[in-house]
Structure 1
Amino acid sequence: MSVEKIDTLIVGAGQAGLAMSEHLSKLGIPHILLERDRIAERWRTGRWDSLVANGPAWHDRFPGMKFSDAHEDDFVPKDKVADYFVAYAKQIAAPVRSGVEVREVRRIAGRQGFRVETSDGVIEANNVVAATGPFQKPVIPPLVPQNSAILQIHSSAYRNPGQLPKGAVLVVGAGSSGVQIAEELLRAGKQVYLSVGPHDRPPRAYRGRDFCWWLGVLGKWDAAAPAPGTEHVTISVSGANGGKTIDFRSLGREGMILVGRTENCVDGVVTFADDLVENLNLGDANYISLLNEADAYIERNGMNLPQEPEARRVQPDPECVRNPVRELDLTKAGVSTIIWATGFAADYSWLKVDACDDKGKPRHHRGVSAEPGIYFLGLPWQSRRGSSFIWGVWHDAKHLADHIATQKKYLEYHHAADREGVGA
């Protein structure tokens, strides 16, 4: 059986893979994309039904195409985001092969390239780009026994309130996913406990501009690395219901019970850290800091943007903040479901090369792996704060494509010189 050969093989046809394809095509580098499902599948089936993009349509897109049926300031529903990527793939004629799973990648001994085992046969590639993104393996901390009577699901398995059994819900994690799910359940009439850890809480918009715009003009998207001690701090922001600033105290006053970081569970009793007030205060400080920077930017540049004094008004502490719950007997509280909005881990087990550390995390510089010929794309903080966002991954892909093109030129020189006997 003949083995197919290609210069560059891209694993994954989501936003990262398509961005990579566009830049490789512009450079004339032959490539294919292998996608085990459909283009942008996780936008369709990997999240809850009401999910919308966290940034407005003018921001969360590639430079080469706008959303055709959305206002620039709309927060686009997830299925329309998936449709956008399907249309983009067609626009750039991306060579996508759907329904093909990559099972193993190994370096070919004694010569350039990698042997790629797929569900559709063997392919040899000079370069392999892992464009599978950061959301690969849902993480559920082993705190509550899985054999308990309580339904435990990861946020990636949640779809809508009707999916859950009757009873109260404990949502663990107050980043964008956790707080949006918790609020949806509250609106559906559920008693909701929300476990709030350290977080950043930017304004959804301030003085007539979305927070994505503010992070851009203030240079925050270009931060090269998270500030010390903030590596695992989540961002609590939402585009749901037209977009609004998340206010935990308001949610508490509406009936949501806020608790601190989830620590343990013994005999059906969950314990929470005594850090709820601290976490809320730190989130507030982050919020006020951005408002201050925005005000200074407006004054410095003489911009005519409306004042917004209401943005600085702090809601009174609800009872759950004044007297935080430290222990929760799940049975007595009627909790029937725990939703773990606790993030994801990477899974590069199919990469049988020396590209990851002993914890399975990629070893790379701006996506260029420690293993020559292997590249990573779509990682959080790959080159900057904005790397895992739609527009950010597009810019990172350009860097990787340029690197591949440069290496290709070096090898072309070598082969030409070898044929002519130069340096022999």
Structure 2
Amino acid sequence: MASEETEVVVVGAGQAGVAMSEHLGAEGIPHIVIERHRIAERWRTERWDSLVANGPAWHDRFPNLEFPDIAPDAFATKEQVAEYFVAYAEKIGAPVRCGVEVTSVRKHEGRAGFRVETSEGSIDARFVVAATGPFQRPVIPPIVPDGAVATQIHSSGYRNPEQLPEGAVLVVGAGSSGVQIADELRRAGRRVFLSVGPHDRPPREYRGRDFCWWLGVLGLWDLTTPPQGAAHVTIAVSGAHGGHTVDFRALADTGVELVGMTAAYDKGVLRFVPDLAANIAAGDEKYLALLRAADAYVERNGLDLPEEPQAHVLGPDPACVSDPRLELDLAEAGVTSIVWATGFAADYGWLDVDAFDENGRPDQRRGISREPGVYFLGLPWLSRRGSSFIWGVWHDARYIADHITTRRGYLAYGSN
């Protein structure tokens, strides 16, 4: 690919990049989508084998294409999600170039636009959309030194129980990934410890409706800023086994031992923060608050939805919560593996522009950065709570496309 020109370069061909391409194409804006691997690669190779989407197929999709051969209330497998985006890209004729890596983006000196350097040459673009999303660099806290156990991996590197050496497993992080991995390992006959931090725990389904529906009718998807202290709180919800509400008490009853947040390591012993009961209680309150809001909505609108009084009954705390373990001798417990379900950090080392704050985070509002012509897409809370979901990124992309269209109009004024 020799040096060329286009109006917009979109970096990344996951859900964000494909959504961006649809809206740019609808506006007739010339663009190129650059993807260093394959379309939706992270769904293919950076997730465990049994992963399914956390939202039902009727909800977790773009508006203009349904999932084929999947019931509306079912949960798509990771392979089905990846193929969905491939099909969507074909449907809209997205100009995706796979196997090409963007190595740098720099602003032109003395004129508008940017020079995009790639592994196959350079591209001059008036606008650049960073659609690489939030899952760029796996984060493993520097707590347990190398060699302390046989295996330490991030959840993005976990595939199945057979991948890990024989022995007990500590899973650190109790969001959707950590909970599902811990449950899978327990079902495979492993002894499992699950380190639980602050979390949100919505019901999978309540009164015959999925929690995605409840957040929609209650207007909670449209929250524009996270509640105090909740910007990075994980959501414990699962689409596995047909979808179910995550219940830490039930998980403990099956044999998973819950512990608090992982704090420190010294001479083979892990120490946990004495916060397990508080974390469980806070998650319970968020769960119950949503049930109460749903009940009020049903009554207010006269809906004929079956009551579920038993959903409000939580039951007693298991012993591991009421009398939590604060230390774990890894060798004594037979722990040979630690799976860190501890999230990701962004990596914009290739984007050499003035679009970041003093902490290196994108300085943007609804995806529009402080560097004119540079946009971010696919980030949590980009415009609202729903921005992290497949349907949410589609709407965020439309907003950015509208902004690019408007800016092109200003730049074109007087050029004829």
TM over 0.5: yes
**In the alignment, which residue of structure 2 is the partner of 1:422?**
none
* Shift in Å, 1:2: 5.4
Please give the per-residue CA displacement for 1:202-248, whole angstroms capped at 9, x wherever unaligned: 00000000000000000110000111122221110000000000100
| Aligned AA (1:133) | G
**In the alignment, which residue of structure 1 is the partner of 2:292?**
292
Gaps of 5+ in 1: 417-424
**In the alignment, which residue of structure 2 is the partner of 1:194?**
194
Residue 250 of structure 1 contacts residue 315 of structure 1 at CA under 8 Å; is this kept in 2?
no
**In the alignment, which residue of structure 2 is the partner of 1:277?**
277
**In the alignment, which residue of structure 2 is the partner of 1:66?**
66
**In the alignment, which residue of structure 1 is the partner of 2:86?**
86
Distance 2:63 2:57 in 1: 11
* Shift in Å, 1:11: 0.3
Identity of aligned residues (%): 66
List aligned pairs for 1:8-407, cutoff 5 A.
Answer: 8-407=8-407
Classify the secondary structure of the residue corresponding to 2:414.
helix
Classify the secondary structure of the residue corresponding to 2:317.
coil
TM-score (norm 1): 0.97
Please give the per-residue CA displacement for 1:247-273, whole angstroms capped at 9, x wherever unaligned: 001111111100011111111110001
Are 1:6 and 2:24 an aligned pair? no
Residue 214 of structure 2 contacts residue 294 of structure 2 at CA under 8 Å; is this kept in 1?
yes
| Aligned AA (2:236) | S
Please give the per-residue CA displacement for 1:179-210, whole angstroms capped at 9, x wherever unaligned: 00000000000000000011111000000000
Please report the RMSD computed on the Cα atoms of aligned residues, expressed in angstroms: 0.9
Distance 2:385 2:41 in 1: 24
**In the alignment, which residue of structure 2 is the partner of 1:420?**
none
- Deviates most, 142-151 or 18-27: 142-151
Gaps of 5+ in 2: none
**In the alignment, which residue of structure 1 is the partner of 2:411?**
411
Residue 106 of structure 2 contacts residue 352 of structure 2 at CA under 8 Å; is this kept in 1?
yes
Classify the secondary structure of the residue corresponding to 1:280.
helix
Distance 1:34 1:384 in 2: 26
Classify the secondary structure of the residue corresponding to 1:356.
coil
Classify the secondary structure of the residue corresponding to 2:386.
coil
Distance 2:302 2:148 in 1: 60
Classify the secondary structure of the residue corresponding to 1:123.
strand
Distance 1:283 1:148 in 2: 32
* Shift in Å, 1:321: 1.4
| Aligned AA (2:173) | G
Distance 1:403 1:257 in 2: 50
Distance 2:365 2:270 in 1: 41
Distance 1:62 1:293 in 2: 27
Residue 347 of structure 1 contacts residue 360 of structure 1 at CA under 8 Å; is this kept in 2?
no
